[in-house]
């Protein structure tokens, strides 16, 4: 049995904040304004994973009103989401992500970011190279994303059930 999940996230870009994408630090004059470390890609991936197993969203799991998550490394959110996916009896088949950034070019970092996602998930599943895709695009100068005032991420995941249901009767 398969399940799909979709996750979206956006954060405003402001000075004097780190810019993290998929756990990789990007050199930039601005970073994500957020309660946690503001990693849009990890947040969108968590939402895709929670969504695929019908387990709410990242805001329910890690409310931004909770002081425990102030400045939190988003890798721990991903660990919790992966743990929940595994407990539900699923594995990740593939991840397809798009990061929306206008002025800052991810370029060659796309591969590094994809490799880091595989590394973060490696304690749970050994995902092959071609199962984790990170793409980048601009917002064609439209809206806040297109003015370089924000960063966005879209993530789709496919999960497959690995624990067979017990036969009845
Ligand atoms: Mg977020």
User: pLDDT (tens digit, 9 = 90+) per residue, 60-78?
Assistant: 999 888 888 888 889 999 9
Rounded mean pLDDT, 133-162: 97
Rounded mean pLDDT, 1-27: 97
- pLDDT higher than threshold 70 for residue 166: no
Bridge-partner residues for 157, per DSSP?
5, 95
Domain ranges within the chain, ordered by starting residue: 2-161
Cα(115) to centroid(ligand 1), Å: 21
Name the DSSP letter for residue 68: G
Q: What integer pLDDT is reported at residue 131 of this predicted model?
A: 98
Q: Which residues neighbour 164 within 8 Å (Cβ) at sequence distance 6 or greater?
A: none
Cα(91) to centroid(ligand 1), Å: 24
Write the CATH number of the domain with boundaries 2-161: 3.30.1330.50
Cα(38) to centroid(ligand 1), Å: 5
Q: What integer pLDDT is reported at residue 155 of this predicted model?
A: 98
Cα(23) to centroid(ligand 1), Å: 13
- pLDDT higher than threshold 70 for residue 164: no
SS3 126: coil
Cα(88) to centroid(ligand 1), Å: 24
As a whole number, the mean pLDDT across the chain is 94
Name the DSSP letter for residue 61: H
* 148 and 32 Cβ atoms separated by less than 8 Å: no
In the chain, what percentage of residues exceed pLDDT 70?
96
């Amino acid at each position: 049995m398969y399940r799909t999940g979709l996750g979206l996230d956006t954060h405003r870009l402001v000075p004097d904040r780190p810019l993290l994408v998929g756990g990789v630090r990007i050199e930039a004059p601005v970073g994500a304004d957020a309660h946690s470390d503001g990693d849009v890609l990890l947040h969108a991936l968590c939402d895709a994973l929670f969504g695929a197993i019908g387990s709410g969203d990242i805001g329910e799991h890690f409310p931004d009103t909770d002081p425990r998550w102030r400045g939190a490394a988003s890798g721990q959110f991903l660990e919790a989401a992966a743990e929940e996916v595994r407990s539900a009896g699923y594995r990740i088949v593939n991840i397809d992500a798009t990061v929306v950034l206008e002025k800052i070019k991810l370029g060659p970092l796309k591969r590094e970011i994809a490799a880091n996602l595989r590394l973060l998930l490696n304690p749970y599943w050994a995902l092959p190279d071609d199962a984790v895709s990170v793409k980048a695009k601009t917002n064609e100068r439209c809206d806040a994303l297109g003015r370089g005032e924000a960063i966005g991420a879209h993530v789709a995941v496919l999960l497959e059930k690995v624990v067979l249901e017990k036969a009845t009767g």
